[in-house]
Structure 1
Amino acid sequence: MSTLAVAKKDFLDVRRAKIVWFVSSLYVLIAVLMFYFGQNNADDPEFYYALTGLTGNGAMILTLVALVTAYLAIAGERESGSIKYMLSIPNSRRDVVLGKFLTRSAVVVGSILVGFGIGAVLGVLWYPSIDVEMFLGALALTILFTLTYVSVAVGISAATASRSRAMGGTIGFFFVTTVLALFRMVSFALDWILNDIFSLELSRNALTFIEAVMSPLMAFFGAMDLVFPSQASRTAPDSPWYLEGEVMIVILLAWLVVPLVLGIWRFERADLG
């Protein structure tokens, strides 16, 4: 077997998971609600408000879709012992990790395409005009962002030997990089630790950059400036270069690659008993 063979077999398993279908359905519901309320009681509804709503608000749901879909990809099979059968076929451990990543990515991207597809149909039906370039840019950025969470979840799953540890690591990652970051608690903590305790006197811009490096969600919000008009910009015009959208894309790419590489490295050295 190979990476693609592992992915094909795994896809047959993951598509039967009811929790995956449930959280994916929530994202589709978000798409419908954003485009409905964007035009409801509006004489001249603007497409980009609905699209920014789907892109920004939908990101929270997509983190759950990605993590729920991928966190047991390998840890679940290690705990049950079925991973030994998969490796005896034979497959390399790298094939297993990459195959699982491809499968879980396909499921998540499928949810995104359905959500954006419904949004496109509703946009044509309910809005005076749609911006195709903006729409495709938002779709591409959303896919990249969501795949970073798939990579993290697969990486955690590859590095842990049980369901409980995979779940704990995934919940911890979600809580710190998503929940706390969204409520600016990460920013406050960085300011307190780096400036108040260590007296580094870092600027607000520097702290914002560190927060983006620590949280794919914050990097995603920073990269949204590349897609949406200036009136929706989240970055001040005089911000330094390291807060530009292109830098945020590089950070997201790092989040896509590094957890997967570390997961492969850890899994290749794991004692499977």
Structure 2
Amino acid sequence: MSTLDVARKDFLDVRRAKIVWFVGALYVVFMALLVYFGQYGVSEPNVRDALWNLTAVGALFIPLIALVTAYLAIAGERESGAIKYLLSIPNSRRDVVLGKFLTRTVVVSASIAVAFLVGGALALALYPSPAMDVIAIMAALTLLYALTYVAVAIGISAATDSRSRAMGGSIAFFFVTSVLNVLGPLQLAIDYLANDLAGLEISSEQILFVQSLISPTTAYVNSTGLAFPDGFRTIPEELPWFLAGEVMVVVMLAWLVVPLALGTVWFGRADL
């Protein structure tokens, strides 16, 4: 067998997980509601406002979709013993990691694609200027953001040998990089460590860049400058080069590759 063989077998299992489809369906509902009600109460409705609000929702909700979909991909089979059968077919351990990632990528991508197709259809029907180019850019950025968390979840799952540890690791990662990030303590902690303790006197923009390296959520939010014009809502008129949308895309790509690589190495050394 190969990576694709593992992915095909895994897809038969994951498609039966109702919680995965339920969480994905919720995101589709959020998209439809935000785009539909975004036209009310304003004289000149702008779909960019609805997409901006969706970014705030997605910053917390997208990681949940990805983590719920992927955190048990390998750890669950290690705990049950099914992983030994999968490796005896035979498959390499790298095939297992990449195959599981491919399957969960398809499932998460399907949820996001449906959501943006629904949002695009509503924008065409309800808005005088649907800005389909902005919708397309946001769809691509959101998909990349989701896949970073799929990669993290697969990496955690590959590095743990039980459901409880995979769940604990995923919850901890989500809490630190999403919840604390959105609520503000993560930025305050970086500021305290860098400026108060280390005395580096780094600027708020540099703190935001460090925050982007620590949190895919920050990188995602900062990358939306590629879709929205400078000065829109809270986007500054001018940004330093290291906070440009293109740089944030590179950061998210790193978040996609590095956890998978580490998970593959760790799983390869695990005693099964």
| Fold match by TM threshold 0.5 | yes
Counterparts in 2 of 1:88 and 1:172: CA distance versus 1, 3 Å: same
Write out the 4+ residue segments of structure 1 that deviate beyond 6 Å after TM superposition. Answer: none
Counterpart of 2:51?
51
Question: Given residue 259 of structure 2, which amino acid in structure 1 is its aligned partner?
Answer: P
Structure 1 position 233, deviation (Å): 6.0
- Which residue is equivalent to 2:268? 268
- CA deviations on 1:111-154 (whole Å, 9 max, x unpaired) are 00111111111111211121121111111111011100000000
The one-character-per-residue Cα deviations of 1:19-56 (angstroms, maximum 9, x if unpaired) are: 11221121011011101220124343112112222233
Partner of residue 88, structure 1: 88
* Contact 2:216–2:252 (CA under 8 A) maintained in structure 1: yes
Aligned length: 272
Structure 2 residue runs of 5 or longer lacking an equivalent are none
Is the 2:154–2:263 contact (alpha carbons within 8 Å) kept by the matching residues of 1? Answer: yes
CA displacement 1:100-119 (0-9 Å, x = unmatched): 00000100000001111111
2:8 counterpart of 1:8: yes
Residues 14-163 of structure 1: matches in 2 within 5 Å? 14-163=14-163
Partner of 2:167: 167
Q: Are 1:183 and 2:183 counterparts?
A: yes
TM-score by structure 2 length?
A: 0.96
- AA paired with 1:113? A
Q: State the distance in 2 between where 1:234 and 1:226 align.
A: 14
Instruction: Mark the runs of 5 or more structure 1 residues left unpaired by the alignment.
Output: none
* Sequence identity (%): 57
C-alpha deviations, 1:44-92, integer Å up to 9, x for none? Answer: 3112112222233223211100000000000000000000000000100
| Contact 2:120–2:132 under 8 Å retained in 1 | no
CA distance in 1: counterparts of 2:115 and 2:144, whole angstroms: 15
2:231 counterpart SS class = helix
CA drift of 1:234 comes to 4.4
C-alpha distance after superposition, 1:203-234 (max 9, x if no partner): 21211110010000000111100111223264
Q: Deviation of residue 235 (structure 1)?
A: 4.4
Q: How big is the alpha-carbon RMSD for the aligned residues of Structure 1 and Structure 2?
A: 1.3
CA distance in 1, matches of 2:219, 2:92: 33
CA-to-aligned-CA distance 1:148-177 (integer Å, 9 cap, x gap): 000000000000011111001000000000
- Do 1:31 and 1:58's aligned partners in 2 also have CA atoms closer than 8 Å? no
**Amino acid paired to 2:252:** L
CA contact (8 A) 1:159 1:267 kept: yes
